[in-house]
Copies of this chain bind each other. A is one copy, B any other.
Amino acid sequence: MEQFTEMVLARLNCKDERTKAILTKLITHLHDFIRDVEPTEEEWFKAIDFLTRTGKTCTDKRQEFILLSDVLGVSMLVDSINHRNNNGATESTVTGPFHASAPPMEMGSMIAKGPELERGEATLVRGKISDINGNPIPDAIIDVWQSDDIGYYDVQEMGQPEVNLRGIFKTNPDGKFWFKTIKPAAYPVPTDGPVGEVLRAAGRHAMRPAHIHFMIMVPGYQRLITHLFVKGDEYLNSDAVFGVKDSLILEFKLNNSASDAKALGFQSPFYEVEYDFILNKIN
């Protein structure tokens, strides 16, 4: 049966070297997997049906194949391969399936606009963007998105306004930025589709520890996609998508100053979190 794989590979007649390498490795590893598992015809058909349903679950607002890649550890593996030489820059993590276009906002804006604003814990997020030599980067684009206080994103349509808990900010001349939000919550990845079947078959929970997503873009610098995680979350050691890195776990500190709260328009006390992002130049 090794000969069979060689026969399939011998048919490749790719114009492009990279395409040839990818198809060769795909066929080789896929056949190795099949020879290792020795699926019955019924198991093979279950796999066909699973992949078909995964495709059909994808919509404008839901990407079940990205979620599958996430829960199998593929997304984080691709991430680590593409960010091996970090030079001290901020570590990256998965994009996840919930990024969507967000409105540009004035510095300091509150990104929570739904019922979570009443229920949630007010939080000030601030920081700085700089290069690996410590030089601040002005006009850096900072795209942020997060779950509400009970673990849902706006696109999941669980009672939030459209385009909520998202915003795009631009750093000041000193590289600094700040915005207001509510503290994010841990949440399960969607389990009502095929990926939920995988998690149940694997005997794994679906929870992700609480976090805020950041995508930071500056011309001439590598795009940084990462999260800031909330220290103390019970799922930090068992993230369903393997996205946690120690350097990205931050304390959300309670600020008891009534005057600080008043200046921000918050009830007292409120939470504060601060992080300085470091970007790598494009090589």
Chain B residues lying within 8 Å of A158, measured Cβ to Cβ, are none
Chain B residues lying within 8 Å of A22, measured Cβ to Cβ, are 37, 39, 43
A254 interface hit (Cβ, 8 Å): no
Q: Which of B12, B58, B202 is A202 in contact with, Cβ under 8 Å?
A: B12
Bound-state Cα–Cα, A16 to B201, Å: 8
A264 interface hit (Cβ, 8 Å): no
Bound-state Cα–Cα, A238 to B13, Å: 13
Among A1, A36, A41, chain B packs the most CB atoms within 10 A around the CB of A41
- Number of identical protomers: 2
A151 interface hit (Cβ, 8 Å): no
Q: Which of B63, B75, B203 is A14 in contact with, Cβ under 8 Å?
A: B203
Closest Cβ neighbor of A50 among chain B residues: B65
Query: Are B201 and A19 in touch, CB under 8 angstroms?
Result: yes
Query: Are A77 and B4 in touch, CB under 8 angstroms?
Result: yes
Among A8, A19, A21, chain B packs the most CB atoms within 10 A around the CB of A8
Query: Are A78 and B39 in touch, CB under 8 angstroms?
Result: yes
User: 1/0 per residue A40-82: CB within 8 Å of B?
Assistant: 1101100010011111101000010110010011111111111
Given known A-B contacts A12-B203, A56-B55, A56-B56, A48 and B72 have beta carbons under 8 A apart: no
Task: Tell me how far the C-beta of A73 lies from the nearest C-beta in chain B, rounded to whole angstroms.
Answer: 4
A25 interface hit (Cβ, 8 Å): yes
User: 1/0 per residue A187-200: CB within 8 Å of B?
Assistant: 00000000000100
Query: Are A41 and B203 in touch, CB under 8 angstroms?
Result: no
Which A119-144 residues have a C-beta within 8 angstroms of B? none
Query: Are B33 and A82 in touch, CB under 8 angstroms?
Result: no
Chain B residues lying within 8 Å of A35, measured Cβ to Cβ, are 77, 81
Query: Are A5 and B73 in touch, CB under 8 angstroms?
Result: yes
Bound-state Cα–Cα, A79 to B40, Å: 9
Query: Are B27 and A73 in touch, CB under 8 angstroms?
Result: yes
